[in-house]
Structure 1
């Protein structure tokens, strides 16, 4: 069992806390996509839920814990999906939820955060500036700061995806996971390395936001001065040291992909799987497109992690 901050017993217990609407998401083989990519492709669909991303698995744990302890408020920084999920989970438990996001975040994500009842504060900078502002708010108000990937609940919530994959371990040999802050990659990777150690865990990140991937290869935290990618959900500049340590223990590889491959991946998921996805969710397909020989004949699973996308931008990418 890999040495990380995660605990398998807690991950199993998480399933009794998380609303069933986020659990046991569809996983199915997509032969049309597989024929196009030259390998057997299965899709793990994390968008068929009220917040259209996997983030609800983690926010359910956080919100339940806060409610049990009598806490009344929570704040987070978000690229969009975490804020929606926290708004949903916190709202159902009577928590006051504040979300700090970049003004440059997709309008569709910001609108959904507001619609779910969260207080939304916008900053002019990128996600890292939003993270700093959220920490300031938490300190000033004396409320809980939820830090995605650093807070273990976000990782162990995402790790329940791994439990569901491990139940089907005979159907795949490689799992492709979008890599941003690292909650999903470390969570799913930990479970697979524990329960299905024969499966290869490959993390995928855009070349325009490569900090965590570079850090994984260098085995030390590498920060970047800027980022430039349409995959806003995985765009960060400052890897968290504790999360990197976990990732080093559970990931077999971390690769970078070009923007053109991300867009091609979105187009293929629409054409061959009938799925409208945000750029982060197409990273796995992009990785196969960039290195088809590596995956030829393999049995892969790609986790479709989110579908909160601005439709105007989506049409421009996919049909432009």
Structure 2
């Protein structure tokens, strides 16, 4: 058993703005020569905030607005903050986002542009979480905790509903693993509706806490992170989320930074997609273990495209004269 509920995931669809639902899902033949398997892309960047996170924040803010709550706060590496700002603005909520000063500037600028109050802290996402919790206590407002709050997981789980309703058959789904909201939400749906599909979580080698925790079946923390995939770079897994992940995930793997960059380059060259590093984790996993996926039909969830373009060009080797 997990904390998640399939009926609530189905109900969540009714709370989410249609702009975030039924995102493109298609077989991408251009990837198949490089990867050696059939690959379908679930494109969670084709929405107003360029990531899957709004599926969860739409549920959170819909319930808060129904309860006449005036304000909400979260900690974010960037994407959750944008999503909460977008969803809260549409429902008349005052939104505060706490982020690290080290977060990509493009993500911070978009949070500000969506009328949220942005507070920056020294340190990483864990420091931002501590500050957001302090603000919630001080002001008596709702703290949105990504992955711990079921709304964030079950909102993300609507991606799973769209997978099983759209793809006639597939063998595995590759899911970027950070805090665990998307992995547990999608995994819950697949285990209920398509149990034959292998649910594989992918995390950077430089931010391995949740993957190590999954393999050891206990919370394992790390002292630091070292990855370009800022969207999944946590150090302290949440015990309740790990418990859910142990039920719904079939495997959790770590990939190298070079493979993440190669995945971003392949998605640009073969699929015409500019993505942030976290969104290339699924492709990176295939690149590192081609034999495992050979001859199979794999779905990879392209989960975000909020990327600093100067950094992107450095990573993928695109020169200023040849930018996409």
- Name the TM-score, length of structure 1 as normaliser: 0.99
Tell me the equivalent position of 2:297.
299
- Please say if 1:63 is aligned against 2:57: no
Tell me the equivalent position of 2:261.
263
Tell me the equivalent position of 1:42.
40
Aligned-partner Cα distance in 2 for 1:171–1:36 = 22
Of the three residues 250, 253, 277, the one matched with 1:279 is 277
Tell me the equivalent position of 1:232.
230
RMSD: 0.7
**Structure 1 stretches (4+) deviating beyond 6 angstroms?**
none
Aligned-partner Cα distance in 1 for 2:121–2:206 = 21
**What whole-Å deviation, never above 9, does each CA across 1:248-269 have from its counterpart, x for those lacking one?**
0000000000000000000000
Gaps of 5+ in 1: none
- The 5 A counterparts of 1:1-320 are 3-319=1-317
Tell me how far 1:143 sits from its aligned partner: 0.4
Aligned-partner Cα distance in 2 for 1:301–1:35 = 16
Q: How many residues align?
A: 318
Aligned-partner Cα distance in 2 for 1:169–1:96 = 39
Gaps of 5+ in 2: 319-324
Secondary structure, counterpart of 1:51 in structure 2:
coil
Aligned-partner Cα distance in 2 for 1:272–1:236 = 30
Secondary structure, counterpart of 1:14 in structure 2:
helix
8 Å Cα contact 1:169-1:196 kept in structure 2: no
Secondary structure, counterpart of 1:226 in structure 2:
coil
Aligned-partner Cα distance in 1 for 2:240–2:32 = 36
Tell me how far 1:170 sits from its aligned partner: 2.8
Tell me how far 1:172 sits from its aligned partner: 1.1
8 Å Cα contact 1:78-1:130 kept in structure 2: yes
Aligned-partner Cα distance in 2 for 1:269–1:32 = 9
Tell me how far 1:169 sits from its aligned partner: 4.6
Secondary structure, counterpart of 1:293 in structure 2:
helix
8 Å Cα contact 1:233-1:280 kept in structure 2: yes
Aligned-partner Cα distance in 1 for 2:243–2:85 = 29
Tell me how far 1:168 sits from its aligned partner: 3.2
Aligned-partner Cα distance in 1 for 2:194–2:280 = 24
- Name the TM-score, length of structure 2 as normaliser: 0.97
